[in-house]
């Protein structure tokens, strides 16, 4: 009885050993077909990302205050200065309207002098992430 138990264990180990040796679970080749325009788009995105520097840009804050006036100020600015980007930012408890994305301080100050006549309490800021 002891010998038969040993033989069963040995045969089981041999069976498991051979089955593991002959298993080929991940031997398949995969071919991916992608549109060549995708690669071109990806290269363009890489060029844009390297040219953008998030923390080195200047913005102009033209409004800070309540929720009611933020949208009105943003719309008025977009109508008057169509070529300059504008966005609303929320910093508890106030809303702020930031305009522009200027690479240099000189460029931002030039635009600031144009905007300063139209809006009160205009600030030149350098936001950080």
123-125 sheet: strands from edge to edge:
86-91, 94-102, 58-65, 123-125
Tokens 């264990």 belong to residue: 9
pLDDT tier, 51 (very low <50, low <70, confident <90, very high otherwise): low
> Is residue 9 very low, low, confident or very high in pLDDT (cuts 50, 70, 90)?
confident
Q: What is the overall mean pLDDT for the chain?
A: 83
The structure tokens 């200027």 sit at 102
Predicted TM-score of the model (pTM) = 0.56
Asked if residues 62 and 32 have their Cβ atoms less than 8 Å apart, the reply is: no
Which domains, and CATH codes, for the chain? 51-125 (3.30.70.1070)
8 A C-beta contact, residue 60 and residue 98: yes
């Amino acid at each position: 009885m002891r010998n038969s138990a040993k033989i069963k264990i040995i045969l089981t180990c041999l069976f498991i050993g051979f089955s593991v040796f002959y298993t080929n679970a991940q031997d398949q080749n995969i071919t991916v077909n992608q549109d060549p325009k995708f690669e071109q788009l990806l290269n363009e995105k890489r060029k844009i990302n390297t040219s953008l520097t998030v923390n080195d840009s200047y913005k102009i804050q033209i409004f800070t205050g309540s929720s009611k006036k933020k949208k009105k100020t943003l719309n008025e600015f977009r109508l008057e200065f169509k070529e300059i980007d504008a966005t609303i930012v929320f910093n508890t408890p106030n809303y702020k309207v930031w305009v522009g994305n200027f690479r240099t301080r000189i460029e931002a100050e030039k635009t600031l002098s144009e905007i300063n006549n139209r809006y009160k309490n205009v600030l030149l800021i350098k936001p950080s992430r």
